[in-house]
Amino acid sequence: MKKGRKSTFERLAGKSLNRKQRRQLQQRFDSPEPGLELIHRNAAGIDVGNTSHFVAVPEGRDPEPVQEFGCWTADLVRMCQWLQACGIETVVMQATGVYWIPLYDQLQQHGFAVVVANAQHTKNVPGRKSDVREARWLRQLHSYGLLANGFQLEGEMEKVRTVWRLRDRHVKEAGRAVQHMQKALTKMNVQLANVISDLSGVSGQAILGAILEGERDPYRLADLRHERVRASREEVARSLEGNWREDVVFELRQAVEQYQFAQRQMQGCDEQLKQYLSALPSALPRPRRKEEGGSGSDSETARPAKKATRGNAPSFDVRGELQRIAGVDLTSIEGINVMTAQTILSEVGVDLSRFASENHFVSWLGLTPSHDISGGKVIGRGRRKVQNRVAMSLRMAASTLRNSPSYLGARYRYLCRKLPSKASAVKAMARYLGILVYRMLTKGPEWVDRGAAAYEQKRGDAELASLSKRAAAKGYGLVPKAGFQPSAIQV
């Protein structure tokens, strides 16, 4: 343990512990009566594994309080029956890969209150753990209420999340296939990517299809380009003069087939996703409410609707479905498009009441700084290692605000000037976007952009108020300069 950092028990005890005191505390915790208050008397702990699970119940409930069960369904049912016979009401386990999911579903069906704990939380308490003792250790921690339950997506939205994550994998596979196509063309000195920006577009796929069918005349291939391609026929034809190696053409064919297969898989996911979204209940439109930074009343003029997202967006009206389900339009926030909104709702759902506040929500996303506090003082700073799909999407949304003439765009540019690095500005802006998402899903305001000028005016007023306060503290007052005209606000 690093010098100056306290464990959970040390913070609760209110004083620092030396090595001897920590050893005594560990002996107390391992004793049958450690003197701590029992929160969950009928608790069991499960060490999740690939081929088997170790389950521990309190002493006296069974002659063998720790037993091993197989991972097949029949044994999982037998495990649940054994837990019911032991009088167990709540079960704790760690999220180990995907092995915990079938066990979690089976326990839920049998009426147990299941707690899926973060593995990092069990390391905050001193103690030695092994594979054999893990189940008993988890049960003991949970019985004293030392483990918090992780976030679990409820209802039918879990189906949406499964399909959306699968679709994201197909999108990435299609992107790798496009890179493979470009590599094969470059090996044959076919510089098509220099005159056509996207090989997966209409022109690129038409030309690649003709090449695979045996066409080698560069001018006939150039005639297949779309009319919107800026490069001339001569330029495209010159870029299509290559050596046409047989082995590389075969490689190109494999890459094109891989891309087309990924596209078909994405289309199948779109159909399934549309079915799941249409089955979700509609939410009543929430009333508008004035909030900081951009919400307004009905009398304010909202900015024009965004253009439909192209590229890898689903083929149906996702925006309309999401607005119907959530009761608000998340895409009304500048920087958040249909893909980002779909990722947010599929990962966290529409009910954020399980988060105590907006600060708890962005902390769960990993968008808050890591401050190690001891004795009321910050003793360490760093980055939190949190892998969260919503946070990644919000970071991408924040980076698109660089040249936006909107309120959020002005805020992002100010953060870029204020913070030491661009990564810090992106994270801070992503945090603010997460707060706006939380407010919309809980309070229901619709975002009405006031423009960059409004943010610059608000920031200027805040700076002037700060200067006035500092001057008053020194016994001075601010007097405007005669004839001074403020310069135009830079957006």
Contact status, residue 121 vs residue 92, Cβ threshold 8 Å? no
**Of the listed ranges 34-38, 110-114, 344-348, 384-388, the one predicted with least confidence:** 34-38
Contact status, residue 264 vs residue 241, Cβ threshold 8 Å? no
* Whole-number pLDDT of residue 94: 87
Q: State yes or no: pLDDT of 138 exceeds 90.
A: no
108 to 43, 62, 80: CA distances (angstroms):
15, 23, 10
Contact status, residue 296 vs residue 448, Cβ threshold 8 Å? yes
* Whole-number pLDDT of residue 106: 93
* Whole-number pLDDT of residue 141: 84
* Whole-number pLDDT of residue 397: 94
Instruction: Show the tokens assigned to 217.
Output: 């005349």
How many whole angstroms separate alpha carbon 48 and alpha carbon 45? 10
How many whole angstroms separate alpha carbon 371 and alpha carbon 373? 6
Which residues lie below 8 Å from residue 269, measured CB to CB, with a gap of 6+?
163, 164, 166, 167, 170
Query: What radius of gyration, in Å, describes the C-alpha atoms of the chain?
Result: 29
Residue with tokens 């003029």: 301
| Per-range mean pLDDT, top range of 15-29, 150-164, 204-218 | 204-218
- Which residue type does 316 have? F
* Residue 484 binned pLDDT confidence (cut-offs 50, 70, 90): low
If one counts every other C-beta atom within 10 angstroms of the C-beta of residue 266, the result is 20
The reply to whether the predicted model has a pTM over 0.75 is yes
If one counts every other C-beta atom within 10 angstroms of the C-beta of residue 208, the result is 24
DSSP state of 55: E
How many whole angstroms separate alpha carbon 173 and alpha carbon 27? 53
β-partners of residue 92 are: 45, 115
- Which residue type does 5 have? R
* Residue 254 binned pLDDT confidence (cut-offs 50, 70, 90): very high
